[in-house]
Amino acid sequence: MKRFAIATIAATLALSAGCFAVAQTAGGTKITLSGGSIGGAWSAIGNAIGETIRRESPGASFGYEPGREAANIQLVSQGRVELGIAHAQLVKRAQAGEEPFRAPFKNVRAIAMIDPQAAVQILVREDAGVESFEQVLAAKKPVRVALNQRGTLMAVTGEEVFKAYGITAKDIESWGGRIHHVDYNAGLEMMKNGQADIVINMLAFPSGQITSATREMKVKMLGISPAAAAKLTDLLGTAPIEVPAATYAFQPQTVPTITGSVVLIASAEMKDEVAEAIVAGMLKHFDYLKQAHATLGRLAPINLTQIAPLELHPGAASAYRKAGLLK
């Protein structure tokens, strides 16, 4: 799994190196943001941030590129793109050189927090006969699981959820099941088509993707036990959270789970004035951001500064101080 993840990152770097390096254009700074797959939440959020850059700095050139989370961090660290989107918890792993990274990337800094509630949501087809992770282990059920793409915190977390209950990917495959690493929309489609029994992802709730997908199929949501949540918090830096009862039509009871946060990142080598201008644009056009995507609509300006466990870029910190959001 690790070799495959690194190979994917390397391939992404090779494709990106020639096209998206930091550059100055005649009209101003060129900003490329590497986010998630087209049609997903990160794509919509990334393009909304790009629009604030265009509005505040008309001379700037902005481009959005679909990416993968671990590759986003590496591309930003190496200066091949100016901005990226990633979970703060995966950035922390990158800074320490932990899997799926083979070396530390210490120069990545946070620009803004853009999603404080990336909650693990575990969907199970109602006809799959799965009641709990404990039952899967006891019965050695040959479940078919759709995680997110390799090199994402979503995929790492999905695997670690199973491990917290004593189940490995090798176990699942030995029982006749299978692990699929695909983007979330593909995973939901596989579930609709009867090709997957369980889909795990990290996203805000209520999720429009989940609401839309579950209109056409019967599902339930599995929770994470306090003991498993404690293991995951120690390992990943996540935090316990609950999905309130009736968040979705199929979910009548409160579901305990864990959550991470999503941040906009840049290299420490980004010029302070560029980072400051990016944040200034986001703050000045904050009403637009709130209307651009439901996740951003939940934020107040002060939330952008809440990037723990990471360090703010000095230019971003300067913009927040000037706006009275930091001392």
Alpha carbon of residue 274 to chain centroid: 24
Task: List pLDDT tens digits, range 24-33.
Answer: 333 468 999 9
Say if residue 132's pLDDT is above 90: yes
Task: List pLDDT tens digits, range 138-179.
Answer: 999 999 999 998 888 899 999 999 999 999 999 999 999 999
Say if residue 118's pLDDT is above 90: no
Say if residue 198's pLDDT is above 70: yes
Say if residue 225's pLDDT is above 80: yes
- Helices 272-284, 314-322: axis angle to 10 degrees equals 40
Give all domains of the chain, ordered by start, each with its CATH number.
2-114+261-322 (3.40.190.10), 118-260 (3.40.190.10)
Could you tell me the pLDDT band of residue 56, with boundaries at 50, 70 and 90?
confident
Say if residue 284's pLDDT is above 80: yes
- Indicate left, alpha or beta for 194 from its phi (over 0: left) and psi (-120 to 50: alpha): left
Residue 6: the pLDDT is: 38
- CA-based nearest residue to 145, from 130, 134, 165: 130
Say if residue 17's pLDDT is above 60: no
Q: What value does the CA radius of gyration of the chain take, rounded to a whole number of Å?
A: 20
Residue 15: the pLDDT is: 31
Phi, psi of 19 (to 5 degrees): -110, -30
Residue 117: the pLDDT is: 86
Distances in whole angstroms, Cα of residue 320 to Cα of each of 55, 283, 311: 19, 9, 13
Report the percentage of the chain scoring pLDDT > 90. 78
The mean per-residue pLDDT over the stretch 18-46 comes to 69
The mean per-residue pLDDT over the stretch 95-122 comes to 94
What span, in angstroms and rounded, lies between the C-alpha atoms of 296 and 74? 25
The widest CA-to-CA distance across the chain, in whole angstroms, is: 64
By the 8 A CB rule, do 256 and 240 touch?
Answer: yes
Residue 55 is classified by DSSP as H
pTM: 0.76
Beta-bridged to residue 65, according to DSSP, are 34
By the 8 A CB rule, do 214 and 248 touch?
Answer: yes
